Amino acid sequence: MSQADLRGKFIWHELMTPDIQSAADFYARVLPWSSESSTVPGYTLCVSGRWGVAGLMRQPDAAREQSTPPSWLVYVGAPDVDATAEAAQRLGGKLLKAPTDIPGIGRFAVLSDPQGAAFAVFAPAMPTPDGAQAEPAGHFSWHELATIDPQGALAFYAQLFGWTGGPVHEMGAGGRYQIIEHAGVPIGGMYVMQDPSKPPHWLSYVQVKSLDEAIAAVRAYDGRVVHEPHVVPGGDRVAHIMDPQGGVLALHERSRATPGAGTTPPPARTRRAARPRKSPATAAPAKKSAGAAPPARKAPARKAPAKKAAPGAGTPRTKARAKRGTARTSAPSAARRSATRKAAAKRRPAHKQHAAKPAAAHKTAAHRRPGGKRPAGKAKAAGRHGRARARRR
């Protein structure tokens, strides 16, 4: 980041706390942070991935004696710290700590705006990264000013850093929420504070992957949830927490349905959304264009060969046919045979009927007469019986 692009950007965050080690352990459990020592004596760095994101510093004895609670301080980039400090005083701000050099680090000054919110301006000795990280979790994503005069505060920061007012969200009883933009990109917001017992202040948000997991860690390690998780316009979820020493910080989880949407600026790398597929029920019919070729016909599906039905199975018609065939092949009764013969006899010609009757009658009579001629088989049988009787006599 060049010195020209530095103006008006939030580039550092610092916690003044009475117990540095305890605060470092707490935030390492809640956030994807680790702590390490710095070149400045008594100063601990909070690191997310490869980047330093914040610092922990021991609270001055005077502040502890006055029961001043631990607080986070935001640092805004300023190419010329001395000129910015002078401009802030001309615009109604106050100088809390005169411009000071940190050997090998940079130059800074601590100020307050006309309404009383404290902030610092900083010019690093070396160019700083632009903040576009591959993994945004663990980095500061939003900054919020609670003040007694949002319009007056916006006019002050606009002249000092070039900020502009973005959209305004109505919060009902909470008043209006004014979005702050830097070079057309939303970086924070401001609103009228509802608790007059607290002084105006800045609140910083750290992005997390899972807000629910972070909140569970806060409760498990002696922290406190000041404002429970809730959804903000755009679908993102936020919550306010307090560390065991009393420092207040906000947590921010982006909406998974619309990454980068909401009140916060989109991440540096966004994934291309997949095109929704139309279902057959909702898809609109395609319009025919002039000269377009007709759609190709689909080849008819080949039918599989019919399987032979099991015996006795089939359609009702097939069953009826099988029943009729069985009836035809079954043996007719004696009455049916007699009726069939009589019908056949009636259909014969007259000369055949008369010729047949005497023969039948003659045959019947010959069988019945005692002296009538018998068939050859029966005569032989009678002869054998007669000879047998003669022998016995």
Residues 6+ apart with CB under 8 A from 224: 218, 241, 242
pLDDT of residue 105: 93
Residue type, 377: G
Residue pLDDT, tens place only, 231-256: 998 899 999 999 999 999 999 999 87
Beta-bridge mates of residue 144: 189, 203
Q: How far apart are CA 77 and CA 8, in angstroms?
A: 5
Residues 6+ apart with CB under 8 A from 170: 176, 177
Q: How far apart are CA 160 and CA 26, in angstroms?
A: 35
Q: How far apart are CA 246 and CA 19, in angstroms?
A: 11
Residue pLDDT, tens place only, 277-315: 333 333 333 333 333 333 344 444 444 444 444 444 454
Q: Count CA atoms within 13 Å of residue 250 on its CB side.
A: 20
pLDDT of residue 67: 83
Q: Is the pLDDT of residue 26 over 50?
A: yes
Q: Which of 63-72, 122-131, 198-207, 366-375 has the lowest mean pLDDT?
A: 366-375
Q: Is the pLDDT of residue 388 over 70?
A: no
- Given a contact cutoff of 8 angstroms between Cβ atoms, the answer to whether 1 and 127 are in contact is yes
Residue 361: pLDDT band by 50, 70, 90 thresholds?
very low
Distances (CA, A) of 110 to 86, 125, 305: 12, 17, 91
Residue pLDDT, tens place only, 90-109: 999 999 999 999 999 999 99
Residue 335: pLDDT band by 50, 70, 90 thresholds?
low
Which CATH class, in words, describes the domain spanning 3-253? Answer: alpha beta
What's phi and psi for 259, nearest 5 deg?
Answer: -55, 135
Q: Is the pLDDT of residue 373 over 90?
A: no
Q: Is the pLDDT of residue 331 over 60?
A: no
DSSP result, 200-261:
PEEEEEEE-S-HHHHHHHHHHTT-EEEEEEEE-TTS-EEEEEE-TTS-EEEEEE--SSSTT-
Q: Are strands 164-170 and 201-207 parallel, antiparallel or unpaired?
A: unpaired
What's phi and psi for 251, nearest 5 deg?
Answer: -115, 150
Burial 374-385 (b: 16+ CB within 10 A, else e): eeeeeeeeeeee
Residue pLDDT, tens place only, 257-280: 644 444 443 333 333 333 333 333
- Residue 121 in 3-state DSSP? strand
Q: How far apart are CA 393 and CA 385, in angstroms?
A: 13
Q: How far apart are CA 326 and CA 340, in angstroms?
A: 20
Residue extents of the structural domains in the chain:
3-253, 339-392
Mean pLDDT throughout 315-328? 50
Q: Does the pTM exceed 0.85?
A: no
